[in-house]
Amino acid sequence: MKSLLPLLACSILFASSVPELWGQFPEGKPTELQSHPDATVVTSNTFRLDMNIHQGFFNGNVIMVTNNLRLRSNEMTVFFDETGNQVKRMIARGDAVLEQAKRTGRSSQMEYIVAENKLIMTGNPEVIDDQNHVTGTVITLFRDTDQMQVDGHSKVVLYQGESAPQQSQPAPKR
């Protein structure tokens, strides 16, 4: 229970700093990540912890930030081990969006299994990896090996060289 106190404190401290507009991540990283690079900061409109069933419930405008990813969703359930000291898995539901350095993912639900460092995306999942675009029924990202598995009616669009869509550039100043 003691190790859950930082998670609970972060949730309470930052609940009032959640952005007003749904769909936007806050600018920059939370200050906790500067002093504790391995920290995870989760904000939401409400948080409920029930250690009788080893679960935490974040509801409303959920934003999770670590040093290498950002995730937002309408709600998130966190499942702890029997000791309450370790997170086993997390399920983000409702307009889930994941952002990493060169990868963005969107789906109705994302389930992260900690022991396997695996993210399972369901509900119209799509991944934009650099400039390539992947859709399917289920997309699984294996974070340790930088691999992806797509199940059910997959569509992969790969761009190479000059055929890749270019980001619009501002007109040169004259």
Q: Has residue 170 been placed in a domain?
A: no
pTM over the 0.85 mark: no
- Across the range 150-159, mean pLDDT stands at 92
H/E stretch holding 12 reads helix 4-14
> CA 113, 125, 132, 165 torsion: positive or negative?
negative
Kindly state whether residues 112 and 48 are assigned to the same domain. Answer: no
Tell me, yes or no, whether 137 lies in a domain. Answer: yes
Q: Tokens standing for 163?
A: 């055929």
- The CA-based angle 70-73-76, given to 5 degrees, is 100
Is 5 within the bounds of a domain? Answer: yes
Distances (CA, A) of 153 to 74, 80, 102, 107, 124: 27, 34, 24, 15, 11
Q: Which of the four pLDDT bands, split at 50, 70 and 90, describes residue 9?
A: very low
Q: Is residue 50 part of a domain?
A: yes
Same domain for 72 and 8:
yes
Containing structural domain, residue 140: 100-160
Model confidence pLDDT, tens digit, residues 82-99: 998 899 999 999 999 999
Of 54-68, 104-118, 159-173, the poorest mean pLDDT is in 159-173
In a domain, 120, yes or no: yes
Q: How many domains does the chain have?
A: 2
Query: Does residue 104 sit within a domain?
Result: yes
DSSP secondary structure letter of residue 1: -
172 lies in some domain: no
- Could you tell me if 104 and 81 lie in one domain? no
Check residue 51 and give its pLDDT.
92
Determine how β-strand 155-157 pairs with β-strand 87-99.
unpaired
CA 173 vs. chain centroid, Å, equals 38
Q: Clarify whether residues 74 and 15 are in a common domain.
A: yes
For residues 78 and 87, what is the distance between their CA atoms, to the nearest angstrom? 7
Residue 162: per-residue pLDDT: 59
